[in-house]
Amino acid sequence: MLSDLLNKDTIQIDDEADMNWEEAIYKAAIPLLKNKSIENKYVDAMIDSVRKNGPYINIGEGIAMAHSRPENGVNKIAISLLKTDPAVNLVNDEHKVKLWFVLSAVDNNSHLKVIQQLAELLGNKQVIKNMMSVKSVEKLADIIKLY
Residue spans per domain, the chain = 2-146
The rounded distance, in Å, linking the Cα atoms of 82 and 100 is: 5
Mean pLDDT of 87-107: 94
- pLDDT number for residue 117: 92
The rounded distance, in Å, linking the Cα atoms of 51 and 37 is: 23
Sign of CA dihedral 25, 104, 35, 120: positive
Q: Reduced to 3 states, what is the DSSP secondary structure of residue 117?
A: helix
Mean pLDDT of 50-68: 96
The burial of 104, by beta-carbon neighbours within 10 Å (0-12 exposed, 13-18 middle, 19 or more buried), is given as buried
Mean pLDDT of 95-124: 91
Q: Is-contact 125 133, C-beta < 8 A?
A: no
- pLDDT number for residue 76: 95
Lowest mean pLDDT across 7-16, 44-53, 106-115: 106-115
For the chain, helix (H) and strand (E) counts, in that order, are 6, 5
The rounded distance, in Å, linking the Cα atoms of 147 and 135 is: 18
User: C-alpha distances in angstroms, 140 versus 27, 80, 131, 137?
Assistant: 17, 12, 6, 5
- Fold type of domain 2-146: Mannitol-specific EII; Chain A (3.40.930)
Residue with the bigger pLDDT between 44 and 147: it is 44
Q: Spell out where 2-138 has E strands.
A: 11-14, 58-60, 63-66, 78-90, 92-104
- pLDDT number for residue 40: 98
- pLDDT number for residue 66: 98
> pTM of the entire structure?
0.95
